[in-house]
Structure 1
Amino acid sequence: MTTVTTPVTPRERLTRLAAGHIAVLQRGYLDDQSHAVAALARLRRGAGREAGQLPDLWALIDTGLLHETPDGARPLSESELVRAEDALHVALTLYALHQQSRRTGMYQADRPGRRRGLGAGVRRMMKPGEIDEAVHKRLVRAGTAPDLAVLAQRLRDIVVLLRREDIELDHALLAGQLYTWQWPGGADTVRREWGRSFHAWHDKPNNGGHPTAGSDTTRTTDTDKDAS
């Protein structure tokens, strides 16, 4: 019996790369490793800004794996590489902003029963059974951004709110969505993903606190070690 292997898509390659980068940064930050704390401080300066505006970050965001060709895959084209690099920049800088002064990991993988997509994150900021129009409008505005630069700025505003409420996000998933966003018709695809994520969240109040999808809700304590 012949096994057919589905080639890994550029978006999947980018999502895996982002997950690996963020996991290493998060582990180092939570272990209070000076290099990781410094890296996140530098990355935060790029949140909401285009990739080429801060050359200082180029050495921090390793895109080497995007230039490699996994078995069964093809090399990425120049346009794919540019879009993937831009998406990775936005996702990592937003993660750095999100993690600032938080003592539990703000990056958490999205999976069934534990939704951590952008839509679910926005929904978790609302009271159980209610729709906060002001908060919901931020998601809608992100969904109608005309380009990646504006989208990055609007996502930055959402991440600031998520950080304030100690709500985790799958930034690697977001990286893949930002890649898709840049292609013709991609914005529609991503908006649908965010909408499904928003509606997939089910309120389960936990002792009067934030609604949660299970017992994995964590609270964090601010620290001033990286207040830069």
Structure 2
Amino acid sequence: MTDTIDETAATPPEPGTAEREYLDKQVGDFVRRRVTELQKNRNEPGARGSRAVALLARLRRAADTEPGADASIWDATFKGAPEAPTSGSILEPTKAEWAIHIALTTYAVHQQSGTDNMHEAGARFATAVRRLEQGRATGDGDRSPVRRRFDALVTSSTLQELAVHLRGIVKQMRSESIAFDYGLLAQELYRFQVPRSIDRVRRDWARDYYASLSRSTDKADGSTDTTKEN
């Protein structure tokens, strides 16, 4: 660490679209590697398994902290992490650091005491929310507590507010062993911090949620395409 900070570089410009998408992919890949390694190691016998379980516990305890505040998880959240410019002061955590921190600490909450793996490659977050929400509506036109929590998450004004709702949802998913891809979630958390990308993230969540709703409705109705070519 240096003793001086170049204040002239305190507010770098927002990255362009191509650079932003490259950075959020790096963030997603980093989180996916970390979570995959934790899932593999936590069930291993001996020291390796013990270290993974202990790290998951430390990550859970750090869920309410800022990136970098807990030195006991630095190896998981900072070591080898991609670098990304920040829209604020360089004294504040970067977008990449926030996305990685929230994704990894939320995974630790999701995985707590579970025997099934809570990271599933390719499974979309909003699709997992729909799986959790199915059958929980309180009446015709009413929204279930799960859907109300999801709506609150989607309309969050800050990433920290989003993280609180996210942890509430994954605690419910944990009880039903519903998993999703934490690398994809990390990418969405990164984009959520970029003003020009927030609506894209919300739109993706809406599409994933209602696409799964349409599929489940078709199965329940038994409606399949029986059209045949003559």
What does the per-residue CA deviation read over 1:94-127, in whole Å, with 9 as the maximum and x for residues that have no partner?
A: 00111111112110012xxxxx222111110133
Aligned partner of 1:10 in structure 2 is: 23
Aligned partner of 1:22 in structure 2 is: 35
Structure 1 residues 52, 129: closer, same or farther in 2, change over 3 A?
Answer: closer
- For residue 195 of structure 1, the aligned residue among 189, 194, 206 is 206
Q: Does structure 1 residue 117 correspond to structure 2 residue 133?
A: no
Aligned partner of 1:126 in structure 2 is: 133
Q: Is the 8 A contact 2:118 2:180 kept in 1?
A: yes
Greater per-residue helix proportion: 2
The alignment partner of 2:117 has SS state of coil
Structure 1 residues 128, 203: closer, same or farther in 2, change over 3 A?
Answer: farther
Instruction: Give the unaligned 5+ runs of structure 1.
Output: 1-5, 68-75, 111-115, 207-228
Aligned partner of 1:31 in structure 2 is: 44
Q: Is the 8 A contact 1:143 1:187 kept in 2?
A: no
Q: In percent, how many aligned pairs have the same letter?
A: 34
Q: CA deviation at 1:83?
A: 0.5
Q: CA deviation at 1:65?
A: 4.2
Aligned partner letter, 2:182: H
Q: CA deviation at 1:34?
A: 0.6
The alignment partner of 2:82 has SS state of helix
Q: Is the 8 A contact 2:85 2:95 kept in 1?
A: no
TM-score, normalising length from structure 2? 0.73
Aligned partner letter, 1:31: E
Structure 1 residues 38, 192: closer, same or farther in 2, change over 3 A?
Answer: same
Aligned partner of 1:224 in structure 2 is: none
Q: Does structure 1 residue 50 correspond to structure 2 residue 62?
A: no
Instruction: Give the unaligned 5+ runs of structure 2.
Output: 1-17, 220-230
Aligned partner of 1:106 in structure 2 is: 118
Structure 1 residues 103, 174: closer, same or farther in 2, change over 3 A?
Answer: same
What does the per-residue CA deviation read over 1:10-64, in whole Å, with 9 as the maximum and x for residues that have no partner?
A: 0111111111111001111132511101110100112244324433322332342
Runs in 1 of length 4+ with deviation above 6 angstroms?
A: none
Q: Is the 8 A contact 1:13 1:66 kept in 2?
A: yes
The alignment partner of 1:109 has SS state of coil
Q: CA deviation at 1:169?
A: 1.4
Q: CA deviation at 1:152?
A: 0.8
Higher relative contact order (CA 8 A, sep 6+): 1
- For residue 107 of structure 2, the aligned residue among 95, 102, 105 is 95
When the two chains are superposed, the root-mean-square deviation of aligned CA atoms in Å is 2.6
Structure number, greater radius of gyration? 2
Aligned partner of 1:182 in structure 2 is: 193
